Amino acid sequence: MAGPPVVDRRTTATRLAALSVAVVAGFCALAVAFWYFQVVENATYVRMAENNHLRKLSLRAPRGVLFDRSGTLLVENRDAFTISILREHSADLDQTIRRLSAAAGVDEQQVRETIRRHRGEPSYRPIVVIDDATLAQVSAVLARRLPFELPGVVVERVPTRRYPAVGLGAHVLGYVGEVGEAQMAADGLRSGSVVGQSGVERAYNKMLMGADGERRVMVNSVGQEITTLDEVPASEGRRVKLTIDYELQQAAEDAFRGLGYEGAAVFLDPRSGEVLALVSLPAYDPNDFATGIDRVTWSQLNTDRLRPLQNRAIQGRYSPGSTFKAVVAVAALEEGVITADFTVTCRGGASFYGRFFKCHLKGGHGTVDLRHAIEKSCNTYFYTIGNMVGVDRINKWAAALGLVGRTGIDLPNESESLVPSTAWKKARTGEKWYAGETISVAIGQGQVSVTPMALASLYAAVGSGGVHYQPHLLKATDDGGGWKDAVLPAPRGVRLKPETVAALHDGLWLVVNGAGTGGRARVSGRDVSGKTGTAQVISLQGAKQAAGRTEMDLRDHGWFAFFAPRDNPEIAGVVFAEHGEHGSNAAPIARHVIETYFAKRAGIRPLPVFTPPAVPAAPAAEPLAPLAGAAGR
Amino acid sequence: MFERRLYFHMDWLLLGAVYLLCAIGVAMIYSASGGSRLYLTQLAAIALGSVALLICLGLDYRSLADRSHLIYGFIVLLLVYVLIFGVVRGGGRRWISLPLFNLQPSEFMKIGLALVLAQLFGDSRRRTPSTRELAIGGGLTALPLLLIARQPDLGTAATLVPVLLAVAFVAGMRLKVAGILLALAVVAAPVVWTVGLQEYQKGRVLTFINPSRDPLGAGYQQIQARITVGAGGLWGKGFMQGTQGQQGFLPVAHNDFIFSVLAEEHGFAGVLAVLGLYAFVVLRTIETARLARDRLGTLLVIGALASFTFQVFYNVSMSAGLAPVKGLTLPLMSYGGSSVIATLAGIGLILNVRMRRFTN
């Protein structure tokens, strides 16, 4: 039969049935798919949906406020604004960057660079593109913050550090900065957290940081906040009281500036180890770091030849010069090698091991006992007794009085102070110690190199008879429930024999109050006792001369270490005047601080004002006499 | 025209299911549009659609089929008119501006094509459609398809293909021919890909295969649709409680993604209920086709059902991120006047055939 076959009703019914089966199968397949997504995989999608419409905003905790020992404010917080871009909600990032840069008046290229640096981070994390925005910038952005014009742009208020006394005590307080990668992992901190990078800010970072809060907000698809769901408020870091006395700190820095010296100074309470003032100059302005330091300032600070970022008081190591003679005297007396009445006749120097070592006074000091040897800083006397005691016993007593190693001050990156010994040299160079080397050590030259902090601790120990305390800066803390005093460190060191203490104190008193080199530190009625010293620059760093240093840089450093009053001292410390030429030039700085201390204690106001000494020249009695091998005053 | 006895043969169950779906749609539109007045427009469209339903119900489908060439021709003219004078919106020239809403002639083409194809294949005596008839059917489908594709609206254009296939299949087209057509389609696919598709259309397909290719553009919708559905869980978040649709994470939620909103707010339970209703409507309609008094009725019902079913499957798949994002509505539920009116008119035709199964 030609033509297509006839279709009977059965065929139609079969095909309709096939369609029905297909339809049922299709609906079943859809149902299974929805069951899988909605029931089996439900948790995954719930989380994704929440990420969609919930945004966690971190509420930065203000860092703890810092006070000086009597409650004067040292560091506080202010509100700063940051402007960030949330890429997740910024469909056209390019356009957002362009508009934001135009609105805030910032360099578009720099914004792009910032975004590029953080491009690896999840897109829901805001990227801060403007730190510490001005009010004009904030209002310019907020005025435009229509979701369509600047989608994904977020303005946040962040508490930011403020150091009201610009630069004062900068090296004590330190500075803050964004957390680094390593620290982030170690302490479980979030990216962008602000942490202490130096000084007390770093040493007590955990205490000061507090806990960030969090606000969960519901947002729509363009990132607009609709409602706040819940909020865990940020809890401020602990308030901290330092042992620093603001007025003494100011007095010390005033005196340095009055004389035009850079350098370092440490003032301690020998009865507790509390640091009353700590100076390191030149310094920096911690405010520059508070909102992230700009590259120019940072590289300036880093390349400055005067190294303003170095805390000279705990990181600078210098030879202590004649201030070290106190250690040699203690060793000789305590070991019974001499008594205080032991005399040496100085004829302008003496020979040891076939070599002549000069005293600084060409004509010699004549016959001197220990007290007068200290007063006049007679090198010949100390060459002699140093040679009798030997380097190892000098090292032993230096260590007992806290001059060796770190003092343990609660500041980061303290350097170790060094007083050599035969064992040290063996370990260090593999060579044996030559007795001739001890002669230089006896007047604080040679391998001896100490931090101002360690030397201050030593004089505190000497002042209070050998027993001393670890220097520290933490006075009290307050976590909201009132001030709690910090635990005082246990005493350490050894109790020296009364004869030792008496002889030493007499000698050091004579330095300031007799015919010695420390006259400029004299404060009437306060029995200041101390010792000047000179740290040579030329012999130690002759190599650097070739590196093109100017003449000025070759001048010696001046030390003045002291305690006052002579009996039961309340204040001890050290002043290191960089390129001060002589210790007597450092003494006026100590004098001003001592005077201020006692004026404060007696309640005398106004406090003394620093006046530079009338005669600026070094004392004629002790001309500078750089010698082959060693010299000291 | 409306005989009283026909009232007793009315398929009340189908009608009930259809209006239930419409009602659920209105509720979802209300929720998805955040309580705006869009639902009122939808209610108006349903009212107009009900008038269209009554008209399609009242006239005997045989007399409608006799005039199918006129209806078909009229809609083709409208499509041509749209291409020249139409309103441009969302990247396509698809609408004719009317006072209450914009008319989308392509939606009505589905019914026009069902009518003309049913007339074509039902006209012949009971035998397998000849190659010539298939060619004519193909031509009748291709003409509006190309016109709609030119708008461009590939989604709606594609819905015409199932109409031809379903009608020809039920009319008894030999499976061998169907196989050949399928093979041709496979061969044609690369050609269509290179010359037929525009860049953005290719992009959509590629993005479907790999949504992360464009997570903020086309892939975004697909990802968001899946999240919306998946976050619904077993029982859903509750009416008006969905966060995805409410806050604009899901674009055109009240329109193309209405089913995603339902899935989010009423969970798997709501999905099953609505899928059940759609399955009921489709199966009940297939039964209507079986019961039809004549071959014309059967084919007309199948023609009207084909685009409806295709769109349900496509839209539901898309709303779970299982199909590329296309501007295809979910019949009866999605917001859109033309879609609702045309769909209800089609339902009218189906009811018409069933109602008149005993008349002569």
A264 and A218, same structural domain? no
| A250 plus A238 within the same structural domain | no
Asked which of A182, A211, A242 is the last residue of a domain, the reply is: A242
The answer, for B243 touching chain A at a CB cutoff of 8 Å, is: yes
> What is the model's pLDDT at position A2?
41
For position A621, what pLDDT does the model report? 41
Give the pLDDT of residue A627.
40
Q: From the CA of A123, how many Å to the nearest CA of chain B?
A: 12
Instruction: Give me the CATH number covering residue A361.
Output: 3.40.710.10
Average pLDDT over residues A437-459: 94
Q: Please check the confidence at residue A617 and state whether its pLDDT lies above 50.
A: no
The Cα B359–Cα B87 span in angstroms is: 44
Report the pLDDT value the prediction gives residue B357, as an integer from 0 to 100. 84
* Same domain for A238 and A252: no
Query: What is the band of B9 on the pLDDT scale with cuts at 50, 70, 90?
Result: confident
Q: Are residues A410 and A529 in the same domain?
A: yes
Name the minimum distance, in Å, from the CA of B292 to any CA of chain A: 11
Structural tokens at position A118: 């953080």
Q: Show residues of chain A in contact with B127, CB under 8 Å.
A: 3-7
Q: CB of A45 within 8 Å of any CB in chain B?
A: yes
The pLDDT of residue A64: 93
- Tens of pLDDT along B307-335? 999 999 999 998 888 888 777 889 999 98
Per-window interface: B 11-70 vs A, CB < 8 A: none
A367 has a pLDDT exceeding 90: yes
Query: Which among A335, A324, A336, A331 is positioned nearest to A374, based on CA atoms?
Result: A324
Residue A417: pLDDT band with limits 50, 70, 90: very high
Contact residues, chain A, for B271 at CB < 8 Å? 31, 34, 38
Inter-chain CB proximity B244 and A52 less than 8 Å: yes
Pick from A140, A135, A46, A148: nearest CA to A92: A148
pLDDT at B246: 63
What angle (nearest 5°) sits at the alpha carbon of residue B53, between those of residues B52 and B57?
Answer: 115
Confidence class for position A59, pLDDT limits 50, 70, 90? confident
Does A38 sit within 8 Å of B229, measured CB to CB? yes
A34 contacts B126? CB cut-off 8 A: no
Does B111 or B123 have the greater pLDDT score? B111
B240 in contact with chain A, both atoms CB, cutoff 8 A? no
pLDDT score for A624: 39
Question: Exposed (0-12), middle (13-18) or buried (19+): which is A156, by Cβ within 10 Å?
Answer: middle
Residue A21 lies in a domain: no
Give the ipTM: 0.91
Q: Are the beta carbons of B127 and A222 separated by less than 8 Å?
A: no
Clarify whether residues A178 and A320 are in a common domain: no
What's the pLDDT band for B211 if we cut at 50, 70, 90? low
Do residues A375 and A515 touch, judged by C-beta distance below 8 A? yes
A194 and A343 in a common domain: no
Question: Pick from A77, A81, A59: which is nearest to A135 by CA?
Answer: A81
**Domain check: are A177 and A269 in the same one?**
no
Q: Is the pLDDT of residue A139 over 90?
A: no
Contacts with B, A 590-619, CB within 8 Å: none
Tokens 């010359």 locate to B195
The answer to whether B263 faces chain A, any CB pair under 8 Å, is: yes
Distance from CA of B45 to the nearest CA of A (A): 28
Between positions 97 and 156 of A, the ones with CB within 8 A of B are none
Looking at the domain assignment, is residue A227 inside a domain? yes
Question: How far A51 CA lies from chain B's nearest CA (Å)?
Answer: 11
Give yes or no for residue A306 having a pLDDT over 50. yes
CA distance A1 to chain B (A): 12
Q: What is the pLDDT of residue B27?
A: 92
Instruction: Report pLDDT digits (tens) over A273-302.
Output: 999 999 998 999 999 888 778 888 888 998
- Give which of A305, A306, A255 is closest to A279, Cα–Cα: A255
For residue B359, pLDDT beyond 50: yes
CA-nearest residue to A3 within chain B is: B130
Residues A551-563: tens digit of each pLDDT: 556 788 999 999 9
- Give the residue-averaged pLDDT of A103-129: 81
Cis peptide before A569 (omega within 30 of 0): no
Average pLDDT, chain A: 86
Average pLDDT of A82-110? 83
Residues A109 and A123 in one domain: yes
Where is the domain boundary, A187, A216, A242? A242
The reply to whether residue A46 touches residue B234, judged by beta carbons under 8 angstroms, is no
| CB proximity under 8 Å: B 148-187 to A | 166, 169-172, 174
Q: Are residues A235 and A270 in the same domain?
A: no
- The pLDDT of A311-334, averaged and rounded, is 95
- Specify the 3-state DSSP secondary structure of A311: coil
In chain A, whose CA is at the least distance from the CA of B130?
Answer: A4
| pLDDT at B189 > cutoff 90 | no
Among A41, A42, A53, the residue with its CB nearest the CB of B243 is A53
pLDDT exceeds 80 at position B67? yes
Q: Are A74 and A63 in contact (CB under 8 A)?
A: no
Give me the residue from B290, B309, B320 closest to A37, CB to CB.
Answer: B320
* Distance between CA atoms of residues A589 and A593, nearest Å: 7
Q: What percent of chain B has pLDDT over 70?
A: 85
The beta-carbon neighbor of B275 closest among A12, A31, A48 is A31
* CB-CB under 8 Å, A221 with B126: no
Q: CB–CB of A179/A192 below 8 Å?
A: yes
| Residue A379: band (very low, low, confident or very high) from pLDDT cuts 50, 70, 90 | very high
- Tokens 């994470």 — which residue? B249
Per-residue pLDDT band at A3 (split at 50, 70, 90) = very low
A168 lies in the same domain as A281: no
The percent of residues above 90 in pLDDT, for chain B, comes to: 38
Quick one: which of B172, B77, B183, B66 has its CA closest to B121? B172
Residue A102 pLDDT class (50, 70, 90 cuts): confident
Give me the mean pLDDT over the B124-146 stretch: 83
**Predicted local confidence at residue A623, as pLDDT:** 38
Q: Looking at residue B358, what is its pLDDT? A: 79
Mean pLDDT for A465-480 is 93
Best residue in A14, A37, A46, A93 to probe B by mutation, most B CBs within 10 Å?
A37
- A370 within some domain: yes
Mean pLDDT across chain B: 84
- Tell whether A86 lies on the interface with B, counting CB pairs under 8 A: no
Examine the domain organization and report whether A268 and A169 are in the same domain. no
Which structural domain, as residue segments, surrounds residue A63?
55-143+155-242
Q: How far is CA A242 from CA A69, A76, A453, B68, B116, in A?
A: 5, 14, 17, 97, 95
Tens-place pLDDT, residues A567-610 = 999 999 999 999 988 889 999 999 999 999 999 999 988 888 98
On whether both A358 and A222 belong to a single domain, the answer is no
Task: Give the residue-averaged pLDDT of B58-64.
Answer: 88
CATH of the domain at A178: 3.90.1310.10
Checking if the pLDDT of B215 tops 80, the result is no
Contact, A251 vs A596, CB < 8 A?
A: yes
| Confidence class for position A310, pLDDT limits 50, 70, 90 | very high
Residue A95 lies in a domain: yes
Nearest by CB: B283 against A13, A20, A37: A20
Residue A622 confidence (pLDDT): 43
Name every residue whose Cβ is closer than 8 Å to that of residue B91 and which is 6 or more positions away in sequence: none
Q: Report the pLDDT averaged over residues A72-94.
A: 84
Give the other-Cβ count within 10 Å of B235's Cβ: 13
Highest-pLDDT range among A150-159, A518-527, B170-179:
A518-527
Interface test with B, best of A32, A34, A216 (most B CBs within 10 A): A34
Residues A252/A576, Cβ–Cβ less than 8 Å: no
Measure CB to CB from residue A7 to each of B128, B227, B289 and give the nearest one: B128
- More confidently predicted of B156 and A183: B156
A154 bridge partner residues: A84
Task: Return residues 279-308 of B near A (CB < 8 Å).
Answer: 279, 282-283, 286, 289-290, 295, 298, 302
| % of chain A beyond a pLDDT of 70 | 90
Query: Which pLDDT band holds residue B104 (cuts at 50, 70, 90)?
Result: confident
Mutate to test the interface with A, among B165, B262, B271 (most CBs of A within 10 A): B271
Specify the higher pLDDT residue, B230 or B341: B341
Rounded mean pLDDT, A74-84: 90
CA distance B139 to B134: 8
A597 touches A248 (CB < 8 A): yes
Which residue of B lies nearest to A7 if distances are taken between CA atoms?
Answer: B127
| Sign, CA torsion B213/B217/B220/B222 | negative
Contacts of B268 in chain A (CB under 8 A): 34-35, 38-39
Q: Does A52 touch chain B (CB under 8 A)?
A: yes
SS (H, E, C) A404-417: CECCCCCCCCCCCE
Is B244 an interface residue toward A (CB < 8 Å)?
A: yes
Q: Could you tell me the pLDDT band of residue B217, with boundaries at 50, 70 and 90?
A: low
Query: Nearest residue on chain B to A225, judged by CA atoms?
Result: B247
Number of folded domains that form chain A:
2
DSSP assignment, residue A450?
Answer: B
